[in-house]
Amino acid sequence: MRLIFLNSRLSDKSGADRWLLDIVASLQGKAETLMLFSRQDADMPTDELRRIGPARRLKGLDTGGIGRRVTRGCLEKLEDAIRNFGPDVIHSNDVVDPAVLDLIAVTGKAVVTVQDHRFFCPGPGKALPSGRICNRIFGPGCGECLADASYLHAMLDLTLKRLEAAKKAAAVITLSEYMAKELVRVGVDKARILVIPPIVKLPWGLGFQDDLPSGSYHLLACRLVRHKGVRVALEAASLLATGTRLVVAGDGPLQKEVKEAASFAGSGVRFLGWLEHGEFWKILHGALSLWMPSTWIEPFGIVGLEAGFAGVPVLAPLRGGVSDWLLPGKTGLEIGPGDAVDLAAKADYLESNPAERLAMGLAAQTWLQERFDPFGTLARLMTLYQGFGPGF
């Protein structure tokens, strides 16, 4: 079997990127694969490049927003790659330009992964400015969260084109039951939707950093952007009654703000920057809790699943894809969206109740390893692929 994968960038920093890397790596030796990407992180780990097999740059695949649409030249090069490689499956992971999705859909071999809300929400991830969930079904009446009329019109048009392109695909993959339900609401055929959650890649030989002893800190690990609740976490860190530190791992537009917060004596914040996979797991394993104070509606929240596998309770709003894996009071605690006071109080509670915290962590490990068994996840995906070609 031959498979082409399309991704906007070659990276291991986002949950969507790691999801694809794990899928492609699992196929090596079983199928012929080719990954096409638009750009590559300068610090992409060499071992990640080795394990995914052939990969080729196709400039322009990372377009798709207003004013940045894919060029005819990019489409022609994509057509050439498909013709020369002769794939049985063309799997688009996070490419959202309607022209690219239309091109692969007409082959009858297209599998499209819908990673986020951009196929059915023109605004900021199904969250209203007030923080409430938007329950409106996508349509002309959307847009109370967008003030600029011309921008709203352009986003409605672009979102509709993305949705219509996805509907033409032979199969649509989502990472959570929440996302699957949202797609059904906007008219995607339920029979063509498959939920494939992330595959958690566990490292070997875990240890702890000497200067970060186990159980001495809470952890925020994410892309440092506003909708991940970074500012909520920084405020909550200043409210912790015990004075325990918040360790922040990640990078992004708010990195400077986090660094400045960490520079103040007594801020309770330590910034580590982006961590490689093994280092991240060392830090995660030693945390009292993982914070996920997202202000948007998380499509899944892969880092929360990783925390559960590590036996670390998660503090997060119970909405969106988080509902697939967080059991409040059993594997973690629910917090109010955007509520720094509640986040700090719940973190203090977990630190003050070590027996309950340990029980939550153990329950998370047991339940999540059963529910998100990587072998079962891969088997469902392989069955989907086999429906297109000669099998493995």
Closest CA to 391 of 123, 89, 158: 89
Given a contact cutoff of 8 angstroms between Cβ atoms, the answer to whether 171 and 105 are in contact is no
What DSSP letter does each residue of 138-186 carry, written as one string?
SSTT--TT---HHHHHHHHHHHHHHHHHHHTSSEEEESSHHHHHHHHHT
Structure tokens at 157: 């048009």
pLDDT tens-digit readout, 88-146: 999 999 999 999 999 999 999 999 999 999 999 998 888 887 778 888 999 888 877 88
Least confident span in 41-45, 103-107, 209-213, 220-224: 209-213
pLDDT tens-digit readout, 292-346: 999 999 999 999 999 999 999 999 999 999 999 999 999 999 999 999 999 999 9
Closest CA to 382 of 55, 70, 3: 3
Closest CA to 385 of 75, 30, 52, 8: 30
Predicted TM-score (pTM) of the model is 0.90
**pLDDT: which is higher, 42 or 112:** 112
| Strand 2-10, strand 332-334: pairing | unpaired
- Exposed, middle or buried: residue 189 (CB in 10 Å: 0-12, 13-18, 19+)? exposed
Domains in the chain, ordered, with CATH? 2-200+373-386 (3.40.50.2000), 217-371 (3.40.50.2000)
